[in-house]
């Protein structure tokens, strides 16, 4: 399908001051002293005046915490460096190579600055314009390493990386992550406009992971993506790149790109791999805004200054796919295009008296004592807005899939259900680990209350039930039944971790838990999904019985039915990567479909299968009592550019900040 249109009749709107501020959210992140986060200034003695080179001291602090999930906190200030800050580089597959942290968190994005000393790297050692580089070990200001598939839990948040001047060889940030983690609310600046790339998503087996709310200015390349697995990229603003805004040779599902070129060159150069993009504004000089090869999907795009987006004279694109399209009931020419909303960013409570530390309410956190009553007292305290599960200071186990109880830090044992109190806005773990026995059937319920938005972040939780009209944001949280008692299988919850029965908006970011949506008024937006459950999960990972679910980027391993949609449910999967290296079949490839639809409406966009084993059954759909199956043979291959179900087609739209 190759269709362009005029969904946007108006020309590209010049960004206003308010709009540009919305592109660079600048919340403050603060923690009470009792959270036990490591403050690099207070606890590490690092200078933040910008007058002293602190490279060696910061690198030492990062290395000391590379195998623990802990927070390395940067208060506002300027941190002058003259070399790389690397979280982890280890390309072996040994359990001891697994890197879990630390999380690098700044106090305020615009005022927490890691600045490269002028003239440190005037000449480049990489030529990323060829699109061939994956291993980036040199001349990167801030890097999460270049290991294989063990770069877990990497979080970089709420700061600015500035490469200064006369550093044409510098890369601002190289972000490599596996399965859990995100880079968000980050600015990457070149003061003189020179530099190799602002943000490089590279590494031997980079992905899946999330990038969100990133602003880049200057550099030859704004975003270089060579990720092997699906990256979810949201709200990316790139100004004044010298060669190209986004150079893609990997896999990405993306939304809301704003790219302004100051020199001739494409806003997006998609050399290969898989790229799906919804919502884009391009400003440039001559030529076409987008060049593409491989699997490519574009929706709701507009351009100014260019000769066109994809074709000469066509300044807007309604919908375009270069991949294969299919529909069992003959209606696959357009996606249903569910409405898209941006994840809200909620400020942190600055009044430390309004933080409830569960230890102060009698919780032991030793994994043996029943902490249910103590935690519930903290959740019920109406004088508080934030509930804290502090860090213990102990390292996590070497391999997340083989959790060693005595090495995962403080653990809070519960035996009965917990209910969020009416005044609590945020539950914070740094990290927090609530555990229970399988037979306890303990749960965590979010009901109605005073705050309009509720945030759960940095937690391991029992199954969560959402029963509220409020907005709920769940980030970097694992929810479900215990890891043991699965008949010898470890690693993933046995049953659904999340149940949505409310009427408010729900946003999931970096939450690898199976879920069910039951309320027809419930809307769920998922950004970066990595549920890898295989044959031991006896139900689909995503169950849309009613309401709507939109997923931006999903990578899975092993074989299981991924999605079940029932009448009244709506679903859109925007970029999916099935990657299974297992040659031993517990479930035959033809036994289960990726998606089963029982009378609902859905679209699949850029379904890619890159592993040794692949699904043979892509879609099973029932409409008006008739059941049809789309196989890889019927489709002419295992990859699918666009599939749309039968039934009425309603189209939503991209939420924009004009």
CA distance 326 to 595: 14
Burial class of residue 11 (count of CB atoms within 10 Å of its CB; 0-12, 13-18, 19+) = exposed
CA distance 34 to 391: 9
From residue 478, give the alpha-carbon distance in Å to each of 386, 409, 429, 483, 651: 19, 16, 11, 11, 32
Token look-up 């060696």 returns: 56
Strand-pairing partners, residue 93, are: none
Residue 132 CB neighbour total at 10 angstroms: 11
Contact (CB, 8 A) for 134 and 161: no
Residue 595 CB neighbour total at 10 angstroms: 27
**pLDDT value of residue 368:** 87
Q: How is the chain split into domains, by residue range?
A: 37-301, 420-644
pLDDT tens figures, 341-399? 999 999 999 999 999 999 999 999 888 899 999 999 999 999 999 999 987 654 433 33
DSSP of 471-490: EEEEES-EESS-SS-STT--
CATH class label, 37-301: mainly beta
All residues at 6 or more sequence positions from 110 whose CB lies less than 8 Å from its CB, including other chains: 24, 26, 160, 187
The upper half-sphere exposure of residue 489, i.e. CA atoms within 13 Å in the direction of its Cβ, equals 12
**pLDDT value of residue 333:** 78
**pLDDT value of residue 466:** 97
Summary count for the chain: helices (H), strands (E): 4, 48
pLDDT tens figures, 180-191? 899 999 999 999
Residue 569 CB neighbour total at 10 angstroms: 25
CA distance 427 to 358: 11
Number of residues that make up the chain? 658
Tokens of 27: 């919340």
**pLDDT value of residue 99:** 62
Report strand pairing: 601-609 vs 569-578: parallel
Tokens of 225: 């993506």
Residues in the chain, pLDDT under 50: 3-19, 21, 394-408, 483-495, 656-658
CA distance 442 to 417: 5
Tokens of 604: 């699949």
What's the whole-model pTM score? Answer: 0.92
**pLDDT value of residue 651:** 59
Contact (CB, 8 A) for 328 and 621: yes
DSSP of 247-279: EESSEEEEEEEEEE-SSSS-SEEE-SSEEEEEE
Burial class of residue 313 (count of CB atoms within 10 Å of its CB; 0-12, 13-18, 19+) = exposed
CA distance 367 to 375: 13
Per the rule left: phi > 0, alpha: psi between -120 and 50, beta: everything else, 513 is beta
Query: Which among 212, 191, 190 has a CA at the least distance from the CA of 201?
Result: 212
Contact (CB, 8 A) for 76 and 109: no
**pLDDT value of residue 203:** 86
**pLDDT value of residue 613:** 84
- List, in sequence order, every beta strand (DSSP E) within 546-589: 547-556, 563-566, 569-578
**pLDDT value of residue 67:** 67
The alpha helices in 325-427, defined as continuous H runs, are 372-380
Query: Which among 337, 325, 331 has a CA at the least distance from the CA of 624?
Result: 331
């Amino acid at each position: 399908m190759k269709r362009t249109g005029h969904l946007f009749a108006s020309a590209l709107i010049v960004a206003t001051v308010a709009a540009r501020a919305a592109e660079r959210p600048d919340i403050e992140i603060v923690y009470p002293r009792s959270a036990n986060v490591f403050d690099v200034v207070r606890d590490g003695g690092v200078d933040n005046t910008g007058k002293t080179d602190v490279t060696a001291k910061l690198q030492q602090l990062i290395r000391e915490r590379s195998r623990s999930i802990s927070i390395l906190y940067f208060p506002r200030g300027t941190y002058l460096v003259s070399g790389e800050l690397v979280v982890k580089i280890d390309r072996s597959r040994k359990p001891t190579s697994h890197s879990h942290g630390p999380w690098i968190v700044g106090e305020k994005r615009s005022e927490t600055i890691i600045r490269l000393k002028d003239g440190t790297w005037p000449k480049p050692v990489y030529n990323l314009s060829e699109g061939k580089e994956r291993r980036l070990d040199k001349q990167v200001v801030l890097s999460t390493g270049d290991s294989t598939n063990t770069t877990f839990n990497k979080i970089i948040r709420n700061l600015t990386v500035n490469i200064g001047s006369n550093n044409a060889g510098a890369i601002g940030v190289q972000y490599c992550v596996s399965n859990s983690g995100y880079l968000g609310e980050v600015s990457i600046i070149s003061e003189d406009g020179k530099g190799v790339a602002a943000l490089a998503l590279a590494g031997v087996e980079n992905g899946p992971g999330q990038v969100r709310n990133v602003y880049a200015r200057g550099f030859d390349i704004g975003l270089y993506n060579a990720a092997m697995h699906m990256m979810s990229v949201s709200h990316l603003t790139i100004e004044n790149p010298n060669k190209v805004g986004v150079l893609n040779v990997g896999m990405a599902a993306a939304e809301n790109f704003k790219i302004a070129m100051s020199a001739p060159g494409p806003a997006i150069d998609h050399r290969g791999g898989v790229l799906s993009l919804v919502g884009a504004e391009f400003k440039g000089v001559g030529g076409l805004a987008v060049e593409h090869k491989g699997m490519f999907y574009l929706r709701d795009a507009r351009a100014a200054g260019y000769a066109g987006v994809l074709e000469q004279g066509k300044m807007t694109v309604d919908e375009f796919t270069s991949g294969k399209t299919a529909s069992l009931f003959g209606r696959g020419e357009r996606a249903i295009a569910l409405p898209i909303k941006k994840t809200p960013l909620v400020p942190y409570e600055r009044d430390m008296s309004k933080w409830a530390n569960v230890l102060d309410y009698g919780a032991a956190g030793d994994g043996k004592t029943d902490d249910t009553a103590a935690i519930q007292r903290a959740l019920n305290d109406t004088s508080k807005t934030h509930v804290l599960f502090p860090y213990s200071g102990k390292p996590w186990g070497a391999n997340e899939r083989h959790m060693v109880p005595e090495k995962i830090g403080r653990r809070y044992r519960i035996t009965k259900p917990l209910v969020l109190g009416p005044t609590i806005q945020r539950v914070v773990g740094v990290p927090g680990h609530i555990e229970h026995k399988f037979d306890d059937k303990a749960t965590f319920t979010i009901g109605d209350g005073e705050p309009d938005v509720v945030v759960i972040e940095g937690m391991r939780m029992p199954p969560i039930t959402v029963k509220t009209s409020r907005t709920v944001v769940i980030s970097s949280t694992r929810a479900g039944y215990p890891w043991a008692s699965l008949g010898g299988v470890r690693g993933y919850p046995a049953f659904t971790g999340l149940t949505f029965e409310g009427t408010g908006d729900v946003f999931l970011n970096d939450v690898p838990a199976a879920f069910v949506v039951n309320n027809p008024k419930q809307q769920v937006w998922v950004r970066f999904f990595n549920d890898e459950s295989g044959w031991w999960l006896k139900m689909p990972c995503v169950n849309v019985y009613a309401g709507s679910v939109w997923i931006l980027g999903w990578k899975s391993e092993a074989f299981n039915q991924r999605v079940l949609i029932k009448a009244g449910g709506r679903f859109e999967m925007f970029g999916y990567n099935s990657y299974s290296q297992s040659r031993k079949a517990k479930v035959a490839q033809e036994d289960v479909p990726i998606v089963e639809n029982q009378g609902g409406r859905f679209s699949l966009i850029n379904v890619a299968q890159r592993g040794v084993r692949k699904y043979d059954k892509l879609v099973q759909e029932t409409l008006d009592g008739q059941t049809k199956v789309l196989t890889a043979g019927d489709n002419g291959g295992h990859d699918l550019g666009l599939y749309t179900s039968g039934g009425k087609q309603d189209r939503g739209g991209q939420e924009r900040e004009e």
